[in-house]
C-alpha cells in the first residue's frame, strides 16, 4: 500500500512538472513588445488566407475572443468592443478578431456561427481568423479572452495585454476604465513611444488544442 502511494505521489510530481514546463514554454514563446510580431498565415471566416504581411504598412489590432466568456460578453453587451472596433477602423487600423478555441471546447464556432455572432452583435472587425489548432495563439502566447495585441506599421509589436485596467466581468467596472488600447493607439499616432506596452491580460483562459 505504501509502495502504491509513493508511486502515485511520484507520478503526480511528474505531471506537475510537465504542466509547469508547458506553462514556462508558453511564456517564453509569447510575443514581446518591441520585437517583430510573429508572422501568421491563417484562414478567415470567408475561407480566405490571411497573412500578417498582407497588412504591411498598417497598424493591426488582434483581439482574442470567446463569445461564451463573461469577460468578453461584458465588452460586447455594453458595445464597448464594437465602438472600439469602429473607431479604430475610422483611423485606418485593421482589426482582426481571433478565435482559437478547439473543437469541443468553450467558445469554439465554425465560420457560419462566427459570422452570425458578428452580425447579431453589430461587431466590426475587418475579419475573423479561425485558429482551432491554436497555432496562432501559441505564436503570440495568447492567454485570455480578451487578449489584445497592437502591431505597428513596421511589423513590430507595440502593445500586448488587457483591453483596459478593470479586470472584472461586471458591466459596472466599465465606468472610469482606462482603455490601454486607445491610449497606445493615441500615443502611436502622436509619434510617441507607447507608455504602457505590456499589461497583464485578464479574462477566460484561452483553450489550447493538443500539439499534434
pLDDT at residue 15, rounded to an integer: 29
What is the signed CA dihedral for 51, 68, 185, 95, rounded to 10 degrees? 30
CA atoms within 13 A on the CB side of 133: 6
Distant-in-sequence, close-in-space partners of 104: CB < 8 Å, separation ≥ 6: none
pLDDT at residue 87, rounded to an integer: 98
Q: Which numeric CATH code is attached to 33-205?
A: 3.40.30.10
**164 three-class SS:** strand
How far is residue 212's CA from residue 210's CA, in Å, rounded to a whole number? 6
pLDDT at residue 30, rounded to an integer: 76
Q: Is 27 exposed, middle or buried (0-12, 13-18, 19+ CB in 10 A)?
A: exposed
| Nearest by Cα to 102 from 128, 134, 127 | 134
Task: Enter the C-alpha cell of residue 69.
Answer: 466568456
Q: Please state whether beta strands 94-99 and 127-130 pair in parallel, antiparallel, or not at all (unpaired).
A: parallel
Mean pLDDT per block of 10 residues along the chain (212 residues) reads 36 30 41 94 96 97 97 97 98 97 90 95 97 96 97 98 97 96 98 97 94 77
Ordered by start, the domain boundaries in the chain are 1-30, 33-205
pLDDT at residue 29, rounded to an integer: 56
DSSP lists the bridge partners of residue 64 as 98, 147
Q: Which backbone phi and psi does 46 adopt, to 5 degrees?
A: -95, 5
Q: At what angle do helices 80-90 and 180-189 cross, to 10 degrees?
A: 10
Give residue-wise pLDDT tens across range 101-116: 999 888 899 999 999 9
pLDDT at residue 80, rounded to an integer: 96
Distances (CA, A) of 176 to 81, 115, 172, 179, 182: 15, 31, 9, 9, 14
pLDDT at residue 154, rounded to an integer: 96
Q: Please state whether beta strands 94-99 and 204-205 pair in parallel, antiparallel, or not at all (unpaired).
A: unpaired
- DSSP assignment of 53-102, as one string? GGGTTS-EEEEE--TT-HHHHHHHHTTHHHHHHHHHHHTT-EEEEEE-PP
How far is residue 197's CA from residue 55's CA, in Å, rounded to a whole number? 21
pLDDT at residue 95, rounded to an integer: 98
Give residue-wise pLDDT tens across range 190-206: 999 999 999 999 999 99
Task: Enter the C-alpha cell of residue 88.
Answer: 479604430
pLDDT at residue 106, rounded to an integer: 86
Amino acid at each position: 500500500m505504501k509502495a502504491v502511494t509513493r508511486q502515485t505521489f511520484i507520478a503526480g510530481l511528474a505531471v506537475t512538472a510537465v504542466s509547469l514546463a508547458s506553462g514556462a514554454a508558453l511564456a517564453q514563446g509569447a510575443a514581446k513588445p518591441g520585437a517583430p510580431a510573429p508572422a501568421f498565415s491563417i484562414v478567415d471566416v470567408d475561407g480566405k488566407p490571411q497573412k500578417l504581411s498582407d497588412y504591411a504598412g498598417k497598424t493591426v489590432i488582434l483581439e482574442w475572443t470567446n463569445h461564451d466568456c463573461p469577460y468578453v460578453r461584458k465588452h460586447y453587451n455594453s458595445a464597448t468592443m464594437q465602438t472600439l472596433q469602429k473607431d479604430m477602423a475610422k483611423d485606418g487600423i485593421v482589426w482582426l478578431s481571433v478565435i482559437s478555441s478547439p473543437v469541443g471546447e468553450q467558445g469554439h464556432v465554425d465560420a457560419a456561427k462566427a459570422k452570425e455572432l458578428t452580425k447579431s452583435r453589430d461587431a466590426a472587425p475587418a475579419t475573423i481568423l479561425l485558429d482551432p489548432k491554436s497555432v496562432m495563439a501559441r505564436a503570440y502566447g495568447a492567454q485570455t479572452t480578451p487578449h489584445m495585441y497592437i502591431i505597428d506599421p513596421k511589423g513590430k509589436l507595440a502593445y500586448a495585454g488587457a483591453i483596459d485596467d478593470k479586470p472584472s466581468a461586471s458591466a459596472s467596472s466599465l465606468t472610469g476604465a482606462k482603455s490601454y488600447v486607445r491610449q497606445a493607439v493615441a500615443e502611436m499616432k502622436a509619434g510617441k513611444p507607447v507608455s504602457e506596452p505590456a499589461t497583464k491580460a485578464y479574462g477566460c483562459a484561452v483553450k489550447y488544442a493538443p500539439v499534434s
